[in-house]
């Protein structure tokens, strides 16, 4: 593992690919590898890109990668795909558009598929991002499907989180994705050459203004209000005091020759603005603190549970479940019994 870590730190792409496989498969030597690499992390800017299927996330990520390359930055893309069979194909299809990127040594693309639980995927994705960070990429684009707590957890690992929308999604989509909107640093209306883009921008602004129900109005205190009513132009990010106002941007990642890549450079500028905002004062430090605490708690719960289940015989575990089912033991007493059985 020490050799693998050294080769990776020396820029070997083969070592990088092997290290990612070790981490993704949660092989026993993954911990030693991650321990060796950890001091070399913290240099990359990690950008989470999340949104529902059909918003064109993958094309947007490709366009962003190309734009970052034009700025001379190296880019790693982690496409997290918890939906193996069907969307797996879709992501592959989108990846074909990345072919022009793939000949470029400054770009590295990796798809992560779920092997077990989504919680497991969140853990291995965080580790994969660390490996890519240690490998020296300037930008790490982490693409996730915005659907559920685990994807929110994955997105939380980013320093700047983009939430991607597209015209033509129903109003109810917005309500469902409120938990995801809450984590948005930048809102992107992709496919903005399609009809209804104005409505989508308006709906997002309205939600930002309300502070959406399912986050208990917290968005207002975290992110503040969008003040602008001008929906025909991208609204700039306006840090007021200590509050970041998530800008709503329009992009066209895949358009005709005239509109192709519309808004991408502006998007990168807004991400840079967000980065400068976080780097000002203690903001990034506070955000990192929350992120690390969240990760530590998640890993602790996972490890505690694994250790307990290893310590209790499966016969005893099964007998406790049976007693609860027979109603001769209640769930609360069952927990105490299992804890005492260690």
**Residues of span 219-258 touching its own copies by CB under 8 A:** none
Determine if 303 is a binding residue for its own copies (CB under 8 A).
Answer: yes
Determine the size of the site formed for its own copies (CB under 8 A).
71
Determine if 195 is a binding residue for its own copies (CB under 8 A).
Answer: no
Strands 139-145 and 45-51: parallel
User: Rounded to the nearest 5°, which phi and psi values hold at 121?
Assistant: -65, -40
**H runs (alpha helix) in the chain:** 2-9, 13-24, 30-37, 57-70, 84-96, 99-102, 118-134, 149-156, 171-176, 178-181, 197-210, 218-223, 264-279, 283-311, 314-325, 331-340
Structure token pair of residue 123 = 């853990």
> What secondary structure letter does DSSP report for 36?
H
Positive or negative: CA dihedral 178, 180, 181, 182: positive
Q: Which is nearer to its own copies, 133 or 185 (CB)?
A: 133
**Segment 304-323, which members bind its own copies (CB under 8 A)?**
304-305, 307-308, 320-321
Angle value at C-alpha 126, between 121 and 130, nearest 5 degrees: 140
Q: Which is nearer to its own copies, 257 or 314 (CB)?
A: 314
Site pattern 136..175 for its own copies (x: CB under 8 A): ---------xxxxxx-----------------xxxxxx-x
> What secondary structure letter does DSSP report for 162?
E
User: Which residue in the set 27, 233, 282, 297 belongs to the binding site for its own copies (CB under 8 A)?
Assistant: 297
CB of 70 to its own copies, least distance (A): 31
Structure token pair of residue 330 = 């209640």
Distance from C-alpha of 331 to C-alpha of 174, rounded to nearest angstrom: 37
CB of 17 to its own copies, least distance (A): 21
User: Which residue in the set 300, 311, 316, 319 belongs to the binding site for its own copies (CB under 8 A)?
Assistant: 300
Q: Which is nearer to its own copies, 258 or 332 (CB)?
A: 332
CB of 138 to its own copies, least distance (A): 18
Determine if 281 is a binding residue for its own copies (CB under 8 A).
Answer: no
**Segment 16-55, which members bind its own copies (CB under 8 A)?**
31, 34-35, 38-39, 41-42, 52-55
Place of tokens 């994807």: 151
DSSP string covering 70-137: HTT--EEEEEEES-HHHHHHHHHHHHHTTHHHHT-TTEEEEEEE-SS-HHHHHHHHHHHHHHHHHTT-
User: Which residue in the set 289, 311, 313, 319 belongs to the binding site for its own copies (CB under 8 A)?
Assistant: 289
Q: Which is nearer to its own copies, 276 or 292 (CB)?
A: 292
Site pattern 202..221 for its own copies (x: CB under 8 A): --------x-xxx-xx----
Determine if 83 is a binding residue for its own copies (CB under 8 A).
Answer: yes
Which residues does 104 contact at the CB level (< 8 Å), separation at least 6? Answer: 69
**Segment 85-104, which members bind its own copies (CB under 8 A)?**
85-87
**Segment 256-275, which members bind its own copies (CB under 8 A)?**
none
Determine if 332 is a binding residue for its own copies (CB under 8 A).
Answer: yes
């Amino acid at each position: 593992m020490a050799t693998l870590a050294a080769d990776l730190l020396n820029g070997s792409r083969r070592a990088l690919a092997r290290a990612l496989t070790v981490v993704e498969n949660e092989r026993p030597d993954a911990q030693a590898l991650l321990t060796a690499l950890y001091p070399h992390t913290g240099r990359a800017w990690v950008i989470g890109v999340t949104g529902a299927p059909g918003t064109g996330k993958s094309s947007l990520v490709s366009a962003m990668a190309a734009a970052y390359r034009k700025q001379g930055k190296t880019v790693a893309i982690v496409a997290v795909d918890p939906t193996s069979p069907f969307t797996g194909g879709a992501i592959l299809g989108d990846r074909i558009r990345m072919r022009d990127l793939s000949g470029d040594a400054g770009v590295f693309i990796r798809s992560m598929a779920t092997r077990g639980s989504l919680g497991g995927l969140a853990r291995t994705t965080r580790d994969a991002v660390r490996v890519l960070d240690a490998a020296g990429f300037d930008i790490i684009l982490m693409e996730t499907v915005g659907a559920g707590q685990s994807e929110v957890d994955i997105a939380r690992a980013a320093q700047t989180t983009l939430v991607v929308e597209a015209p033509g999604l129903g109003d109810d989509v917005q309500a469902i994705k409120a938990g995801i909107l809450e984590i948005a640093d930048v809102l992107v209306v992709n496919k903005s050459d399609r009809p209804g883009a104005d409505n989508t921008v308006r709906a997002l602004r309205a939600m930002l203004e309300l502070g959406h129900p399912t986050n208990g109005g917290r968005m207002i205190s975290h992110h503040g209000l969008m003040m602008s009513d001008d929906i025909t132009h991208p609204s700039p990010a306006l840090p007021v005091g200590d509050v970041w106002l998530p800008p709503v941007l329009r992009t066209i990642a895949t358009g005709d020759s005239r509109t192709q890549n519309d808004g991408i450079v502006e998007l990168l500028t807004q991400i840079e603005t967000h980065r400068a905002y976080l780097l000002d004062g203690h903001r990034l430090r506070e955000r990192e603190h929350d992120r690390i605490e969240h990760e530590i708690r998640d890993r602790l719960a996972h490890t505690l549970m694994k250790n307990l289940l290893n310590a209790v015989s499966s016969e005893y575990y099964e007998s406790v479940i049976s007693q609860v089912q027979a109603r001769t033991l209640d769930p609360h007493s069952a927990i105490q019994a299992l804890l005492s059985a260690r």
